[in-house]
Amino acid sequence: MLMQGKQGLICGVANKRSIAHAIAKSLHREGAKLAFTYQGERLKKNVEEIASELGSSLLYNCDVSKDEDIKKLFEDVKKDMPYLDFLVHAIAFANKEDLEKNFHTTTRDGFKLAHDISAYSLIGMAREAMPLMQEKGGAIVTLTYYGSEKVVPGYNVMGVAKASLEASVRYLAADLGASNIRVNAISAGPINTLAARGISGFTKILEITPQKAPLRRNVEVDEVGDAGLFMCSPWSRGITGEVLYVDCGYNIVGM
Ligand code: NAD
Ligand code: IMJ
């Protein structure tokens, strides 16, 4: 019961396959009290069901492209939870066509959208979460991918946005450290979620990864869940501004 008496907010559950769901399951297993955001009424029912399985009825609508949604979210959270121990940010979006065409065709609007949703949202949420974490300290965890540092076919503008997200983790960690708030990222290997399905060649990526990864297999979503738990828990209390790879070692191999 590592997380007994701790409470936090999970952002980015779309369905049962979501990485945010796996992290929420691990946190729940260790006794944490959870609240969830959902992106619009379309996803409310899914998130409601998942929250209820994890003993929670605290749900908030939040589209991170809207400043007013982020502001209202933390005003509402404050009414239900006087204090936040952790915040999980598992949100990314780019136009599908920008993940299919050549990178050099990326439009200004497509670039802005990917960075706004996938990188800026962490900054906006961290700022609003700060007052709720200030007293006892807290942990903020986001999700990133290897395509931020090496070219992965099709990842394109998302790779550039993840590079921005990872740099944001370091700058946020430097600022928020004075309030004993830690900020870290988990770089997960490819997992068959909503954000990965429908990507052309994704099945191929799942086939190729085990040929190179030291553990000779793909990562399981529950392994990312437990790493998320670790980053939210006091066991990682000396770690901030870090990117932790949960990818069966794929990133360490040159060829
Ligand atoms: P997912 O589709 O289950 O989750 C993505 C979430 O982003 C959804 O819940 C969606 O509602 C949310 N979202 C998108 N736009 C939003 C907006 N405007 N406002 C609020 N929420 C919004 O897929 P996932 O794979 O669990 O993705 C979670 C995170 O993990 C993402 O940051 C993704 O980049 C990262 N990641 C995924 C993989 C993978 O292979 N699946 C690997 C490494 C990192
Ligand atoms: C996504 C695109 C191309 C290659 C990819 C991915 N690889 C992996 C992903 C190799 C692992 C999944 N991933 C890490 C993501 O961050 C996905 C983000 C994403 C996915 C979609 C699909 C649907 C859509 N927009 C999206 N925006 C971001 O319309």
CATH number at residue 154: 3.40.50.720
pLDDT digits (tens, 9 = 90+) for 87-119: 999 999 999 999 999 999 999 999 999 999 999
Name the closest ligand to CA 94: 2
Q: Does 74 map to a domain?
A: yes
For the chain, give the mean pLDDT: 98
pLDDT score of 11 = 99
What is this structure's pTM?
0.99
Q: Does 174 map to a domain?
A: yes
Overall average pLDDT of the 72-76 stretch: 98
In the predicted structure, residue 152 carries a pLDDT above the cut 90: yes
Q: For ligand 1, atom 21, which residue shows the shortest CA distance?
A: 39
pLDDT score of 200 = 86
Separation of 19 CA from ligand 1 center, angstroms?
8
Number of domains in the chain: 1
pLDDT score of 198 = 82
Q: Does 43 map to a domain?
A: yes
Q: Cβ < 6 Å from ligand 1: which residues?
A: 12-14, 18-20, 39, 43, 62-65, 90-93, 117, 143-145, 188, 190-191, 193-196
pLDDT score of 135 = 87
Q: Does 147 map to a domain?
A: yes
pLDDT score of 221 = 98
Question: So which residues are the catalytic ones?
Answer: 145, 155
Q: Does 2 map to a domain?
A: no
Closest alpha carbon to 232 in 119, 89, 124: 89
DSSP symbol at 126: H
Structure confidence at residue 232 as a pLDDT band (50, 70, 90)? very high
Q: For ligand 2, atom 20, which residue shows the shortest CA distance?
A: 195
| Structural domain range at position 45 | 7-249
Q: Does 18 map to a domain?
A: yes
Q: Cβ < 6 Å from ligand 2: which residues?
A: 92-94, 96, 99, 145, 152, 154-155, 158, 190, 195-196, 199, 205
Q: Does 41 map to a domain?
A: yes
Structure confidence at residue 129 as a pLDDT band (50, 70, 90)? very high
In the predicted structure, residue 45 carries a pLDDT above the cut 90: yes
Closest alpha carbon to 159 in 143, 169, 146, 148: 148
Separation of 93 CA from ligand 1 center, angstroms?
7
Q: Does 254 map to a domain?
A: no
